[in-house]
């Protein structure tokens, strides 16, 4: 047992030699049944047992691991930093070798990842198509709107007392940024909309959203900032927060404070940083949500930690503008880890593939076969 502790500590410290690594693996496999050893060894490889655990018996470590039984896919280190994939399917079995030759990805054609693209609907109803290559100035009365690549910038000029609204829409496979007339910055995920005045006047700043949008609101004590998403209203003075209104309604606060209200039930809560409000028939406050997972899209990543197969496919549908077709039902698999959103579809499903699941790309369809 003492040898195990020493070897395990060396692994955590990344000072373990190839010979010692082999001894560590052999110790685990020789002291536990095959399937349990797979689970434990997968935990060691994924580095999910931390240094403090090395002071406890292996039995205690194993019991802690089997209670959690996470289901993971991710890129990890193997001895001298060779990258391999860890995939755990429902039932707790780790797959930590290179993908099986039976696992096939049939890519009739590839699909490029999403990028900076959106449609701007002006106050007169005309539509301007935006992409990452555009650099232009759009005039609306006394308001100048500048496009610089994947961002719109409103100059905050005068609109002569007339309140006019613009709507920015990102399609599936699109994302965009906008700096509103008060300096507030907004990041929009795919399949989202933002409706806002070209300039804020009076004592309020109000916008409406659908989809998923992240705000960094400029502080202005005299003019609270209000966001409406479906039946949810968020009121702030100056703060950073994320709103997800794809399937449910949630607000996650990163900085500052916000008041979240249900427009139908009349209830409200005050969020502190690191809290999330979820709105359905009631308002539920969740402490310590996984902020890395929530903000992954803004940082150019997919975070699949704890996600079901269907949830992962829904993200791919939005980002790659594809339709996922299930031939034989939805696989009962959960994933973990992060992958870049800059990968092509074929490159991404290569990382997701499993011997029990086959992918085929046909046009803008991703066919999944069990």
Would you say residue 132 lies in a domain?
A: yes
144 and 208 fall within a common domain: yes
Decide: 122 and 154 in contact? Cβ < 8 Å: no
What per-residue confidence (pLDDT) applies to 16? Answer: 72
Give CA torsion, residues 90, 93, 98, 99, to 10 deg: -40
269 and 206 fall within a common domain: yes
**Tens digit of each residue's pLDDT, the chain (370 residues):** 556 667 776 766 667 776 777 777 777 767 666 555 555 555 555 544 444 444 444 555 545 444 433 334 433 222 222 222 222 222 222 332 333 344 444 444 799 999 999 999 999 999 999 988 888 898 887 788 999 889 999 987 665 567 899 999 999 999 999 999 999 999 999 999 999 999 998 888 999 999 999 999 999 988 999 999 999 999 997 899 999 999 889 999 999 999 999 887 778 899 999 999 999 878 899 998 999 999 999 999 999 988 999 999 999 999 999 999 999 889 988 888 888 999 899 989 888 876 578 899 999 999 999 8
CA-CA distance, 190 to 213, in Å (whole number)?
9
Decide: 192 and 213 in contact? Cβ < 8 Å: yes
Would you say residue 359 lies in a domain?
A: yes
- Last residue in a domain, options 242, 271, 293: 293
Decide: 186 and 218 in contact? Cβ < 8 Å: no
What per-residue confidence (pLDDT) applies to 109? Answer: 76
Both tokens of residue 242? 């994320």
- Bridge partners of 284, per DSSP, are 278
Would you say residue 167 lies in a domain?
A: yes
- Last residue in a domain, options 293, 323, 338: 293
240 and 143 fall within a common domain: yes
What's 358's domain CATH number? Answer: 3.55.50.30
Would you say residue 100 lies in a domain?
A: no
What per-residue confidence (pLDDT) applies to 65? Answer: 41
Rounded to 5 degrees, φ, ψ at 226 are: -125, 130
Would you say residue 280 lies in a domain?
A: yes
- The total of structural domains in the chain comes to 3
49 closest CA partner among 75, 30, 27, 67: 67
56 and 147 fall within a common domain: no
360 and 241 fall within a common domain: no
147 and 206 fall within a common domain: yes
140 and 286 fall within a common domain: yes
Would you say residue 24 lies in a domain?
A: yes
269 and 324 fall within a common domain: no
Helical pair 2-13 and 18-31, crossing angle rounded to 10 deg = 130
159 and 274 fall within a common domain: yes
316 and 266 fall within a common domain: no
- Cα dihedral 179, 183, 189, 195 sign: negative
The domain containing residue 212 runs over which residues?
115-293
Decide: 234 and 251 in contact? Cβ < 8 Å: yes
52 and 144 fall within a common domain: no
């Amino acid at each position: 047992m003492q040898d195990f502790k020493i070897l395990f500590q060396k692994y955590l410290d990344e000072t373990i030699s190839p010979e010692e690594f082999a001894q560590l693996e052999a110790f685990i496999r020789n002291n536990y049944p095959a399937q349990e050893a797979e689970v434990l060894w997968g935990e060691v490889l994924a580095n999910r047992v931390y240094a403090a655990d090395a002071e406890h018996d292996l039995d205690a470590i194993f019991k802690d691991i089997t209670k959690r039984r996470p289901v993971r896919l991710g890129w990890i280190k193997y001895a001298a930093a060779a990258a391999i994939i860890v995939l755990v399917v429902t039932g707790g079995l780790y797959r930590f070798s290179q993908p099986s030759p039976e696992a096939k990805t049939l890519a009739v054609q590839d699909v490029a990842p999403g990028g900076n693209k959106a449609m701007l609907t002006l106050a007169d109803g005309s539509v301007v198509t935006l992409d990452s290559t555009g650099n232009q100035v759009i005039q609306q009365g006394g308001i100048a709107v500048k496009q610089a690549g994947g961002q719109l910038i409103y100059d905050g000029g005068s609109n002569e007392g007339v309140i006019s609204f613009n709507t920015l829409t990102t399609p599936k496979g699109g994302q965009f940024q906008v700096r509103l007339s008060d300096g507030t910055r907004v990041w929009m995920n795919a399949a989202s909309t933002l409706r806002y005045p070209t300039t804020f006047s009076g004592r309020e700043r109000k916008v409406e959203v659908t989809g998923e949008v992240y705000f960094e609101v400029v502080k202005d004590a005299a003019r609270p900032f209000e966001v409406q998403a479906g039946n949810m209203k968020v009121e702030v003075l100056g703060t950073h927060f994320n709103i997800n209104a794809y399937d449910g309604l949630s607000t996650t606060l990163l900085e500052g404070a916000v008041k979240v209200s249900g427009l139908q039930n009349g209830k409200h809560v005050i969020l502190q940083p690191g809290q999330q409000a979820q709105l359905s028939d009631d308002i539920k406050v969740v402490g310590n949500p996984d902020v890395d997972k929530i903000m992954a899209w803004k940082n150019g990543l997919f975070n699949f930690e704890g996600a079901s197969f269907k949830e992962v496919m829904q993200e791919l549908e939005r980002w790659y503008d594809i339709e996922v077709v299930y031939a034989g039902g939805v696989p009962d698999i959960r994933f973990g880890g992060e992958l870049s959103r800059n990968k092509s579809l074929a490159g991404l499903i290569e990382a997701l593939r499993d011997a029990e699941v086959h992918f085929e790309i046909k046009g803008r369809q991703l066919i999944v076969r069990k």
